[in-house]
Structure 1
Amino acid sequence: MLECQNNLSVQVAAFAALCLCSTPAHACPDGATSLVSCPLKGGTKVLQTCLLGDHATYAFGKVGQTPDLHLARPVTDIAMTPWPGIGRYIWEDFTFSNGATSYRVFYGIDKMAEGAGKLTGGVAVEQGGKVLAELYCDLGKVTTSGYPLPLYEAKEAAGQVYSLEAQAWSD
């Protein structure tokens, strides 16, 4: 068991190093699960979030190039709002913090829509409670790992519990 844990720690460290140094903004490293990804701005930019073990990454940048911004965080440091189970839309969002700036990644599925346009997503850049930018995924180009995102299970595996009533995670 200890060997598996050490191997996972090595994989996570390698995952973060790969993403920071050389991985294009549109690819998760081998063994990682893509959470939410999509092209934005007519395909000129890419948003990619990945999960490997107890760490997640956020990458944003030009297609095929080193990301303009890359963040790697333990899942316990990522804020996540799971779908409450009601309404026309199934949605989730999760937030990576970087100092005073946060990057809230979101996606949603319109249960009533017909055709390919029912899955949407994007990222909101926020600072001090203000939205600085909101970028939407190119229509019909959002990919997710499916509902529910494996980030929820990763947070639970790390010892966190979500309270629907409080709308908050606790340790």
Structure 2
Amino acid sequence: MVGTRLIAIAHVGVFSATQVFAGCPQGTEAFNTCQIEGRNTEVAVCFDDRNVSYSYGSIGSPPELELSSPVERVDFEPWPGLGRSIYEEVTFYNGDYSYTVGGGFERPFSDEEAQQELRRFGWVEVMHLGEQIAYFECRPETVTYGFGGGLYDLKVAANQSWDQYSLSWVSDLVQPTSSSTLRDTNLETCLSPSEFSLGGLRLGDPLSMLGKLGSPEPVQGSGIPIDRLTLVDMTIDIFEDEIVAMSSELPTWATRSGLKVGLTRGEVIRLLGRVPLGYDPTADSFSIDACSDQQGVRSEWMIDIDFGQDKRVSRITLAMFSP
């Protein structure tokens, strides 16, 4: 199914924004295109001012796989600005699979090297649940790659900035608040208890706050008498008639400051003000305790923020350590 996935990349200089390369539909610009080394297949990553597309298949035939992502959400990783090679990459996601298309060229560092043809390169890496299952290289002479402008400028025009530390893009619309900014207490990072709510429902709220959302059912095999209300976009656990946990995997429910599913890792870090103590900027999850020096925190609360392979929040969970 995935055995063939390839990528193109690398080219000299900067291309005109209106130039169209082979393999890209009319009206779109190529991030890169190429033919795969040792195979009769080709890949094309193309974009316009709204969408970025990936297509792969046999040369001259309809694509075997096509994927697309809006410019605002596409996982584009720009050149970090270091090293002899200039390179960039774009990753597309399809369920448990990801397809990273990258490429670049070797920069000349002397007049003699500048007179020689640039060494171009490109690749595609296919992952399944975080494990590499395929890797292909491009035929260098078929690579097209236009460094400068392009996707980077489109992301910036969409009011996003690249965060090299978290390796993700951050929307200028995401700004920290007094409730979302982390605090340090006894060498530990904590978050204001006012953040421990989703869509207006707060940990510790009575069962009556659920209103007409539905009727909780006993959780089988939990060992303690917990009832669970399962909604389309959230689960709510109740113990002794109060909310003890909430978990959501859709962006419908957000905390007071806007922490929710779908935010990039960099956007979460911006809301928190910094990376929580004990974690690095590319961690797969953050777990943060509530600051317990405020009224209304009757037991230790925690928030778990899990990130998916696309570097965005995949699940957010609020819970008491023990009911």
Superposition TM-score, scaled by structure 2 size? 0.42
1:156 aligns with 2:156: yes
| Greater mean deviation of Cα atoms: 111-120 or 58-67 | 111-120
Which residue in 2 is equivalent to 1:57?
53
Kindly tell me the number of residue pairs found equivalent between the two proteins. Answer: 145
Q: Is the 8 A contact 2:55 2:63 kept in 1?
A: yes
Correspondent of 2:86 among 87, 90, 93: 90
Alignment of 1:64-79 (within 5 A): 64-79=60-75
What SS does the corresponding residue of 1:76 show, helix, strand or coil? coil
How far does the alpha carbon of each residue in 1:63-101 deviate from its partner, in whole angstroms, 9 at most, with x for none?
111100001210122112111111111111110111111
Is 2:166 aligned against 1:170?
no
Could you tell me which of 98, 101, 106 is aligned with 1:105? Answer: 101
CA distance in 2, matches of 1:88, 1:42: 27
Is contact 1:43-1:138 (8 Å) kept?
no
Bigger share in strand: 1
Do the aligned partners of 1:44 and 1:62 also contact (CA within 8 Å) in 2? Answer: yes
Deviation at 1:149, TM superposition (A): 5.2
Structure 2 counterpart of 1:168, one-letter code = S
CA contact (8 A) 1:37 1:46 kept: yes
In the TM superposition, residue 148 of structure 1 has moved relative to its aligned partner by 2.5
Give the 3 Å change call, closer, same or farther, for CA 149–45 of structure 1 in structure 2: farther
Q: Is the 8 A contact 2:23 2:33 kept in 1?
A: no
Residues 116 and 140 in structure 1, CA contact (< 8 A), matched pair in contact too: no
1-side partners of 2:32 and 2:46: how far apart?
8
List gaps (5 residues or longer) in structure 1: 1-25
For residues 7-29 of structure 1, the C-alpha deviation after alignment (integer angstroms, 9 at most, x for no partner) is: xxxxxxxxxxxxxxxxxxx6211
Q: Identify which of 24, 27, 39 aligns with 2:23.
A: 27
Q: Deviations over 1:82-132 (max 9, x none)?
A: 111111111111101111111100102111485446110021111222111
CA distance in 2, matches of 1:116, 1:126: 33
C-alpha distance in structure 1 between counterparts of 2:121 and 2:137, whole Å: 8
If asked which structure has higher relative contact order (CA below 8 Å, sep 6+), I would say 1
Q: 2:108 touches 2:118 (CA, 8 Å); kept in 1?
A: no
1:126 corresponding residue in structure 2: 127
Which has the greater radius of gyration?
2
- State the shift of 1:158 in Å: 2.1
SS at match of 1:155: helix
Q: Which letter maps to 1:101? A: Y
CA RMSD of aligned residues (A): 1.8
Amino acid at match of 1:111: R
* Residues 105, 118 of structure 2: 8 Å contact kept: no
Higher helix proportion, which one? 1
Structure 2 gap ranges (5+): 1-21, 172-323
Amino acid at match of 2:23: A
CA displacement at 1:34 relative to structure 2 = 0.9
Residue 39 of structure 1 aligns to which amino acid in structure 2? Q
Contact 1:43/1:63, CA 8 A, preserved across alignment: no
Q: Report sequence identity in percent.
A: 32
- What's the secondary structure of 1:140's corresponding residue? helix
Query: In the alignment, is the contact (CA less than 8 A) between 1:32 and 1:51 conserved in 2?
Result: yes
